[in-house]
């Protein structure tokens, strides 16, 4: 047996041990709940006028933890028509979760004749791990040209097993012709290695609300252009 063969025999066990101890194993978590079912009741709104009768873009979020599952619910107002906000929700780079190193839209499907109007499958990278999220958009009432309420659901369906649960709902509701209500609920949990905390559930709501606002406070470098083409044009 030559020296190269001996080296290969030595390395093979290490290869299989390395595979068995892969710190980033992947697992599937199929989207089991109805894609048009919101995690927050569709009658709930976090957009109310203040004492002066004005709609501000302040974000309000409540949160908690139960048996390792972190949850949050909240939202606020957006001083823009619902159709414009909906078009922004179809700018998938804008909806990219903060901290993601990169993303790729693996699939994009739309059927504006169907209540569930859009589906996106998006892969995200954060550090050395990746995971895939399915996004569904459903027109709860109104029409594509004049939407009254739009539900956007997402869930992690594949990727790193260190994220056990990652799902959420966003509700957009027409308050008046220039004000959109934004309500959201999130659930997230993971292994100790993932370092997932309650602040992540809170941050996901606050971050997207800010990106959708007419007067954002953060993310000046993020492209906030509405994707009008996705909803049939401006």
pLDDT band at 9 (very low <50, low <70, confident <90, very high): very low
Q: CA 64, CA 75: separation in Å to the nearest integer? A: 16
Burial class of residue 46 (count of CB atoms within 10 Å of its CB; 0-12, 13-18, 19+): buried
Work out whether strand 147-159 and strand 69-78 pair parallel, antiparallel, or are unpaired.
unpaired
- The pLDDT value recorded for residue 26 is 84
- What's the token pair of residue 201? 């559930």
Q: Model confidence at 23, in pLDDT bands (50, 70, 90)?
A: low
- pTM beyond 0.85: the answer is yes
What angle is formed at CA 216 by the lines to CA 41 and CA 48, rounded to 5 degrees? Answer: 40
Q: Are 157 and 28 in contact (CB under 8 A)?
A: yes
Mean pLDDT of the chain: 87
Structure letter (DSSP) for residue 180:
E
**So what's the pLDDT on residue 101?**
83
Q: Name beta bridge partners: 157.
A: none
**pLDDT grade for 22, boundaries at 50, 70 and 90:** low
CB-side exposure of 187: number of CA atoms within 13 Å?
15
**Comparing C-alpha atoms, which of 94, 84, 95 is closest to residue 133?**
95
Residue 131 has pLDDT above 50, yes or no: yes
User: pLDDT band for position 6 (50/70/90)?
Assistant: very low
42-100 pLDDT, tens digit per residue, is 999 999 999 999 999 999 999 999 888 999 999 999 999 999 999 999 999 999 988 88
For the beta carbon of residue 118, count every other beta carbon within 10 angstroms.
22
What is 28-231's CATH number? 3.30.530.20
Extents of the domains making up the chain: 28-231
CA 35 vs CA 155, 189, 209: distances in Å: 10, 21, 22
Greatest CA span in the chain, whole angstroms? 87
Which is more confidently placed, 37 or 21?
37
Task: List the single range of 47-51, 72-76, 134-138, 213-217 with lowest mean pLDDT.
Answer: 213-217
């Amino acid at each position: 047996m030559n020296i190269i063969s001996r080296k290969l025999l030595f390395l093979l066990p290490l290869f299989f041990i390395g595979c068995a101890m892969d710190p980033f194993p992947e697992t599937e978590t199929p989207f089991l709940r109805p894609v048009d079912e919101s995690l927050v009741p569709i009658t709930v709104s976090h957009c109310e006028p203040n004492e002066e009768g004005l709609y501000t873009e302040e974000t309000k979020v409540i949160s908690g933890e139960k048996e390792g599952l972190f949850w949050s619910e909240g939202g606020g107002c957006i001083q823009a028509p619902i159709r414009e906000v909906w078009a922004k929700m179809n700018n998938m780079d804008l909806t990219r979760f903060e901290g993601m190193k990169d993303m790729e839209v693996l699939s994009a499907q739309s059927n504006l004749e169907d209540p569930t109007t859009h589906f996106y499958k998006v892969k995200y990278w954060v550090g050395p791990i990746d995971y895939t999220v399915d996004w569904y958009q459903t027109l709860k009432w109104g029409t594509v040209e004049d939407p009254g309420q739009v539900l956007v659901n997402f869930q992690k369906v594949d990727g790193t097993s260190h994220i056990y649960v990652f799902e959420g709902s966003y509700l957009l509701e027409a308050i008046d012709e220039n004000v959109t209500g934004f309500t959201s609920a999130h659930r997230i949990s993971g292994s100790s290695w993932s370092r997932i905390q309650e602040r992540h559930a809170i941050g996901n709501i606050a971050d997207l609300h800010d990106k959708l606002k007419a007067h954002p406070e953060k993310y000046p470098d993020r492209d906030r252009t509405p994707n009008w083409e996705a909803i049939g044009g401006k």
